Structures are given as structure tokens and as C-alpha cells.
Structure 1
Amino acid sequence: MPLHSLLTILADNRPHHITELAHATQRQPQHLNALWQQTPPHIRGLLRQKDGFWQLVRPLALLPEDHSHPHFRLDVLRETTSSNDVLLDAVKRGEAVHRRVVVAHHQTAGRGRQGRGWESRAGECLMFSIGYTFGRERAELGALALVTALACRDALVSLGCPVQIKWPNDLVSGLDKLGGILIETVRRDEQIHAVIGIGINFVLPKTVEHAASVQSVCAAKILPAQLLDAVLNRLHQSLPQFDGHGFAPFQAAYQTAHRDQGREVAILHEGEIRHEGRVLGVAADGTLQLLTEQGEISVASGETSLRLPEQLENGDAPAPVRYLLLDGGNSRLKWAWVENGHITATNQAPYRNLDALNQEWLQYGGGIERVVGAAVCGTAKQAMVAAQLPHVRIEWLGSMKRGLGIYNHYQSPLEHGADRWFNILGSRRFSSNACVVVSCGTAVTVDALTADNHYLGGTIMPGFHLMKESLALKTANLNRAPGKLFPFPTTTANALAGGMMDAVCGSLMLMHSRLQARCGGEAVDVIITGGGAAKVARALPEQFTLDNSVKIVDNLVVFGLLNWIGQA
């Protein structure tokens, strides 16, 4: 299928020349654009074209059909009902499925635990099933799901993805689900044949609530083949050990990876709370050990679900974890209220009138655990902010040599603006590629971050208002309001507007070119924040925005603070 071949080649997020794509799809180069129009809408907008090369702005969970692994026999299917079904049917036909892996690009009847559906659009989820024949009895395989979850988690961590496990076998980032596991067994020829189904969100699903993805969680860019191979390598070691010795060798490592170890949880059955208590650990048979008011009990996975108190709609949930985050710019203060890791409200005001901050503090300040900020505004304005937040200590953070796995190459972090640093930390929520981060405020900063998390530094130039004031004060006959943007201005007012915008766009594009050369031609994203962000994005050449991912993000400093607090 030509379209499938085209997508599979481009899924690696690398540039491919149209002659290569034409040969693979058996199409003429001039017919590729018509073929591309047949792609699903959620993929169509990811394409960038430049100098005869095509490239997607991010990888997709699609593997070439000839992908192989040294320890497993792989089949890559474009579409099937369920990768689990393929192996289960093979067992029923008497075929050997031991160490056979089926990867499905699309499932028409995917399923998860407790009969739930598992849905994803093409390229969004890495879905595969593994066949394995055990020498143990079926009753002794209860902890197989936990061993599989641990192998997946360890593989992700080795690739730079800080994920955890929610008992028994969900891969999670905080409260958001990254992946799941479904194990089905068949007894045939006096042996137990297990089919281990694994689904890992590769791109953030737009239609699923409380979901995480490899692209949103991992700092570095990861390709689907890397992830699949890393998981299979772990399972190549874990499955024989489990077959020989059970869950005991994995027990300590699992408890270390378990998100809820030592926490208060609720166990639900068919939507009703059956047990509440503190997690003591996981036993050698994989059951959850819970300390309740009635004493210690063991909970088997079965048809149960585990929830944290803050996830329950009813009941005595503990107070939420709440922060106030501050972005002290040169002329304005921005702030955000955060609850359980999510921004619930934002606002901003000039320093001359911070009444809104004080009013919100009186309304929402109860229960705030920390007030954390990044400031470039100076101590006088920091004192003005503190006056609006009585009886609380503000933690003003500065730039750092390292943070969230990012190395800061600025010669003296003490001289590096905190806003620039936290913009960089915040950018990782929106790009795993190399990126140019532009902040359009009183000053315009243009900074460079590599895909492997090296902050290289950047430039500072006057913002739009400072440029206008400088021209008005230092140049005769230019004390006038800027006009509108035109490619070739023919009035002085329009020339002022065009000159200021060209300066900012030119600085952005020059930094982009430098970074792309530094990174060997890899994709370089652009993230723009600040009051002038939308205006700058509109002024960029159309071809530049087609060739590159350009995102506008409000409150990028706040996202950086949120990322930093989340890791801390």
C-alpha cells in the first residue's frame, strides 16, 4: 500500500528526499503531494517540506515491516482486530508462539483490562503482543503482569522517561496513564501459553482524558523501534527468570518503581470502594498488601481498580497539593494557581496595581503549600509582590547550572536571567526536539536548546516598545506611532513597524539556522512566548512556518516552574 509505505518511512522523524519516497511508493515525485492528501487529518499537518526533503515534526509509532529483533520473531501488521487475538488464534491452531511478537499499527478491536476498549489513531500508540510458553501452572502466573510492567518501566527509564507503575500493571506519569498491559493465557498440549499485550501511548491522545505519552514525558527524542527493542531486551532477561523463580527476584525493584508505595489508596470493585488503607508493599505472589483500619489485608488484582484519594469523586479525600507560581517580568507580574500539578487559573497585572493578586490571595491562598517565582524585575518590585502576600515566604529561584536534565552552558548562571532559564525548562513540555525559544517582552530573548538537553545560550535585543522609544528619543522625525506591516513599506510609520518586526524575525531565523547547523540538520522547533508572540508568529515567512514547527505558548516561565517543582 503506497500510503502506508510513505508513512512508515517518514515515521522516523528524519528528512527523506522525494526520490527515495517516490521509489518506495512507486509514484512519480510530482504525485507525492496528492498521495499525502490521503493521510489522516491528525498526521497530515505534521509534514514539513524543504529543498526536496520531507520530514515529520515528530516520530510516529509505525515500524517498517522488516524490523527484526535478535531474541524474538517479529511480525509487523498494518491492521488487525487485536495483536493478542493473532497470537491466541495461532495457539488454538497448534502453532508455536513462544517468543513470537506481533506489532499492530492499527487495531479495530483493541482491548484492555476488565473488558475496556483500547483505542488509538494511526501512529499514536505502540501496540504489540508477545507469545511466551511457560513451564509453570496458570495459577503461578498471577504476577506476570507485574514483571512485564517492571520491564516496560525499566526500558522507558533507560531511555530518559521518568515513569512509574500503578499496581498492578499500569505505566503512569503522575496521575496520567502512559500505557497498559493485558495478559491472556491458553492451556494446550499440557503447557500454558501466555499472550502479553502491551500498549504505550507514543503521541499524546487528543481524545483521551488523563493520558500521558512518550513524547510528552520523555526529555529526549525516542523512536518507536528504540522503545520496542528496549522493552524486548528487558523481557528477554525477565521472562526466563520469572519462569524459573517467580516474582520474588523482582519484588524489591517493583516496590521501588511503584507510584503508590506507602500512600493512602482506595480499592474499587465495579465502581464501589471495597477497601481503604495505606500501601505496605507488594507480596511475593504479586498481591497488594494494604494496612486498613481492620488490619493488614492482601488484595489480588482481578476485577479491582486502585485510586488515590484525590481521584475519588466522593469520600474523605485529603487536601489537594496547591502552589502559587510567580513570573516577575520587567514591567508586569504574571501568576498561576496550581492544584495537584495542574494549572487551574492564571492572571497578570502591572506592578503599579497588584490589587488583583491580593484579592485572589485572600480568596484562594488558604492551603497553599509553597509560593515559588522567577524574577528579573529587581528587589524593589519583588518587595511590592511580597506586600500583596502577607505572612508567606516567596521562594525566588534563579538560573541554575543544571535542571531537569538540561545543562546550562551560560558562563555565569548568576548573570543569566531566571526568565530565560525557566522558559527553557518549560519548553520541554512542548518539544522534545532541538528548539529556539523566543520571549517577546520588554526585551526579546532568543535562546537555543539542543535535542540532547544542552542549553547553548542566546541573544538579547530591545523589545518593540524599547525600539520605538529609542527611535523617538534619538532620531529626528521618528517620534510617531508605528504603522502596519507590509513587505515593502512606503510610509515612515509602516517602515518603523516593518523594521522592528524584521529585527525580531530575523534574529529568530538566524538563531534557528545556527542551531540547525549545530545539530546536523535535525528538526529544530520554535517556541514563542510573551505579549508579542502571536504578532511575531504571523510575521514569519510562510515557507518558514511550513518547514518548521512554530508554537505559541503563554506563560512559558510558569510551565518551567511547574516542571521544576514536579521533579523536585
Structure 2
Amino acid sequence: MLLAIDVGNTHTVFGVWDGKTWVAVWRRATNPDRTEDQIAVWLKGAFDLAGVLYDVDAVVCGSVVPAANEAIERLAQRWFRIDPLFVQAANVGVPVDYEPPSSVGADRLVNALAALAKHQPPMVVVDLGTATTFDAISKDGVYVGGAILPGILVSSQALASHTAKLPQVEFVAPARTIGRNTAESIQSGLMFGYASAIDGIVRRIAKELGGKVLTIATGGLGGLFLGLCETIEVYEPNLTLDGLRLAYDKVRGRG
């Protein structure tokens, strides 16, 4: 089985692929100080609870937190006796029109790789995590760039930490735009504000790409906006894991 690891700034996602489907997917807080042994003990418990055999013969990792990479490498080598593949922009295999091409995050390109494997371009992939990223794929299947803005969690934390009386709130859309109390007002601003920002940026990208695009949402917070945004048509919670799996197949030739 393939163990795919997506190391994000806030969360790390572990997925187990049996050749046909993701038999288990787990999410936990990213902590670069964790040792390979701590990760292995937690993973063993997760495998047992899910009823999945601890039988991994391949490991692929995409990481935006370089400080966490050494523990992942040691985890694979010590506990699975495998040299893991760390996916880089150069080995994803998606054509890139970006300056310089090497500056594109591998996570953005694996999302594009998975999207192209499932859908017909032109497309926009919206990944809602610590940052909200928009990735544009032309009708010819070329990654042509996108946009980045602070994620809703970052904005919520900034609002609470820079004001004396405004609390953090649950990410739930209120029943109305006009908030009738402080919590509702913050929820309205965050949820409807981000939904409008997503729709606005997607429409601008679509115009630059020449018209209609398919918009795919992913990321830990992607599901929150599926019903709020007019432009989001598809929610793919495991898009990044799928991209890591496909990148592994390209590089290591796994069937």
C-alpha cells in the first residue's frame, strides 16, 4: 500500500491507498518537532483503529514545511524500510508557464495534476487551507499561475488578536447577512466575505482564460464554501493526496 503524506502549515494529512481507493485518511496538527518514532506510534494506532493492515510498501510526501521533512524521511526509512519520494515542482509533470517555474509550490502542481486526471480544462483549483490559493489551468492543460490570499482561519485569528472585544467564532454561515449580534456579524463578514472573494477572483481568472472554467475546491475548509460560492462546482477533499499518488506513479513507475 502507498502512504501519501501532505504536510501543510496547519495540518498534515495521511492517506493510505490500496491500489483502488483511499482506505483511510487522517488529519492532524503539523508539528515539526515530532520525531519519527512519535509519528510511527500515532500511525500504528490510527491503522489499528481503522482496521487497516500496517503494510506500507511506498511513501510519497508533499511538504510546505521543510522543518518537518527529516522526520518524515526517517519515519519511512526506519519503520517501513523505504526511501520516500518527496515531490518537487520539477517531478510533477504538469507543463508550467510561470516565472520562474521552480517557484511554484509542489502542492499547487499536484492539485493541478489530479484535476487534469479527472476533469477537462480550463479549470481553477481553489485550495482552502492556511492560505487560500487559486490555481489556473489553461484549455491546453498548462499551469499558468493564480492568486494567493490569507486563509479564513488566519484572518479570524488576526481579527481576534488585534482587537480587544472581537472573539473567534465558529465557521458557520449565519442565516442572514445582517448580523444581529457580534458573533453573527463576524461570521457574516468571514463566511460571506470569503465566498464573495472566491467568486470574484474565480470570475476574474475565468475572464483572463477566455470564458467558462470548471472550478474545483479542495483543502480542509473547502467543504464549507461549496454551498456559499456560486462558482464552485466540485469539491474534491482528497485532491492533493490524489496528486501525490499520481506524481509517485510518474516518478517511480508504480502501476
Cα distance in structure 1, aligned partners of 2:91 and 2:25: 29
1:516 and 2:206 matched? yes
Match of 2:13 among 319, 334, 339: 334
Closer, same or farther: CA 567–387 of 1 in aligned 2, 3 Å:
closer
Match of 1:539 among 222, 225, 228: 228
Give the match for residue 114 of structure 2.
426
1:221-264 per-residue CA deviation (whole Å, 9 max, x = no partner) reads: xxxxxxxxxxxxxxxxxxxxxxxxxxxxxxxxxxxxxxxxxxxx
**Deviation, structure 1 residue 384:** 3.4
**Deviation, structure 1 residue 365:** 4.8
Cα distance in structure 2, aligned partners of 1:420 and 1:385: 20
1:384 and 2:71 matched? yes
Match of 1:500 among 190, 201, 207: 190
Q: Is the 8 A contact 2:206 2:213 kept in 1?
A: yes
Cα distance in structure 2, aligned partners of 1:534 and 1:385: 28
Cα distance in structure 1, aligned partners of 2:20 and 2:215: 25
Task: Mark the runs of 5 or more structure 1 residues left unpaired by the alignment.
Answer: 1-321
Cα distance in structure 1, aligned partners of 2:101 and 2:182: 41
Q: Is the 8 A contact 2:177 2:192 kept in 1?
A: no
Cα distance in structure 1, aligned partners of 2:101 and 2:209: 24
Task: Mark the runs of 5 or more structure 2 residues left unpaired by the alignment.
Answer: 32-37
Secondary structure of the residue aligned to 2:95 is: strand
Kindly report which structure 2 residues correspond to 1:422-461, keeping only aligned pairs within 5 A, or say none. 422-461=110-149
**Deviation, structure 1 residue 401:** 8.2
Q: Which amino acid aligns with 1:526?
A: T
Kindly report which structure 2 residues correspond to 1:354-393, keeping only aligned pairs within 5 A, or say none. 354=39, 355-359=41-45, 364-366=53-55, 368=57, 370-379=58-67, 381-389=68-76, 390=78, 391-393=81-83
Q: Which amino acid aligns with 1:530?
A: G
Cα distance in structure 2, aligned partners of 1:461 and 1:388: 33
Cα distance in structure 1, aligned partners of 2:92 and 2:70: 28
Cα distance in structure 2, aligned partners of 1:371 and 1:401: 15
Secondary structure of the residue aligned to 1:539 is: coil
Kindly report which structure 2 residues correspond to 1:62-461, keeping only aligned pairs within 5 A, or say none. 322-340=1-19, 342-352=21-31, 354=39, 355-359=41-45, 364-366=53-55, 368=57, 370-379=58-67, 381-389=68-76, 390=78, 391-400=81-90, 403=93, 406-461=94-149
Cα distance in structure 2, aligned partners of 1:364 and 1:527: 32
If asked which structure has higher relative contact order (CA below 8 Å, sep 6+), I would say 2
RMSD: 2.7
1:188-228 per-residue CA deviation (whole Å, 9 max, x = no partner) reads: xxxxxxxxxxxxxxxxxxxxxxxxxxxxxxxxxxxxxxxxx
Match of 1:560 among 220, 230, 243: 243
Cα distance in structure 1, aligned partners of 2:65 and 2:92: 23
Matched pairs, number: 236
Secondary structure of the residue aligned to 1:373 is: strand
Secondary structure of the residue aligned to 2:187 is: helix
Closer, same or farther: CA 367–424 of 1 in aligned 2, 3 Å:
closer
Identity of aligned residues (%): 24
Give the match for residue 125 of structure 1.
none
Cα distance in structure 1, aligned partners of 2:244 and 2:91: 15
Give the match for residue 216 of structure 2.
527
Give the match for residue 550 of structure 1.
233
Q: Which amino acid aligns with 1:357?
A: L
Give the match for residue 479 of structure 1.
167
Q: Which amino acid aligns with 2:223?
A: A
